[in-house]
Amino acid sequence: MDTTGCGTALITPFRGDGSIDDRALYALVNWQIDSGIDFLVACGSTGEAATLEEEEWLTAIRIVLDAAAGRVPVWAGCTHNSTRTLVKLAEKLTRVRGLDGVLSANPYYNKPTQEGQYQHFLALAQAIDPLPVILYNVPGRTGVNLEPETVIRLTEDASNIAAIKEASGKLTQVAALVHALPQFGPSGFKIFSGDDNLALAAIGIGAKGLISVASNEAPREMGRMVRAALRNEWPLAREIERKYARLFEANFWESNPGPAKTILSMMGRCDATLRLPLVKPDRAVRQRLERLAGELGLLQEAPLPEGDMRMF
């Protein structure tokens, strides 16, 4: 898999009635690509995938693919705590034309052992081979950590396990993978930071990019930051990180993607609607987010009233 750089873990825009806003999603994808983002992830945790019905999930993925039109790689989130259900869902993605990979997080709630996670991800990989699988280690959301030793076993036993989004917050895990998998080379297994605030540190160790929340709001600058780091242009990368470090933190003042959607709504990109059990940030947080967005110049990114609706 050749994908590197900064990818956006896309939000899923909803209308005020809670339905998917297809026009806003289409426009968001165009803006992301026009801003230089390297790849897109549809229907991950930032995309509120856990609240999407199956047909909505497939529809959102198809909208992203249609809007992207092959200009950048597109990965689709597909996570479930039942391996049998995961495989059934993932098999549907093999029939979605143009998809470049499937991102799947640790099984949540069950708290499986390392052997259980190994068998879970191996079943996924075998079911959709040769479509690439991107492991997503996010213990803060799922309650379990995918240990480096288990990742190594998976890469040895399934050739289409192509990458990992490492969001454990542990740089030691990134380092362990880099040190253990040197044989995969530039076009082989990739490690992506799943944390905006650790992206530069992870790239410094050997990660090949970032899957970002903040690039929903600032795709151009996040892309520049990551690519600068990958080119060893560290002064520029650090300068951009220092500017946007407050945004990285602000996106988690309340549960993600609440703050990101709130800022995007201020930018005129989508409604701030979330699906229960998530709710919009409270008034005090919204005021803080508006102040920060203004200070960072994000509100200057707002489109004209009709928006960038290149759907037809």
CA-CA distances (angstroms) from residue 42 to 49, 103, 302? 9, 9, 22
Give CA 6 to chain center in angstroms: 10
| Contact call for residues 21 and 304 (beta carbons, < 8 A) | no
Classify the C-alpha dihedral 79-83-87-89 as positive or negative: negative
User: What angle (nearest 5°) sits at the alpha carbon of residue 279, between those of residues 274 and 280?
Assistant: 85
Tell me how far apart the alpha carbons of residues 186 and 303 are, in angstroms, rounded to a whole number. Answer: 38
Using CB atoms within 10 Å of the CB of residue 66, give its burial: 0 to 12 exposed, 13 to 18 middle, 19+ buried: middle
Which residues are known catalytic residues? 136, 165
Residues in the chain: 312
> For residue 7, what are the β-bridge partners?
39, 211
The type of residue at 228 is A
CA-CA distances (angstroms) from residue 132 to 16, 104, 164, 185? 35, 11, 11, 17
Tell me how far apart the alpha carbons of residues 11 and 40 are, in angstroms, rounded to a whole number. Answer: 11
| Contact call for residues 194 and 174 (beta carbons, < 8 A) | no
The type of residue at 306 is E
Q: How many CB atoms lie within 10 A of CB 205?
A: 19
| Contact call for residues 12 and 20 (beta carbons, < 8 A) | yes
Residue 42: its H or E element: strand 39-42
Residues 6+ apart with CB under 8 A from 235: none
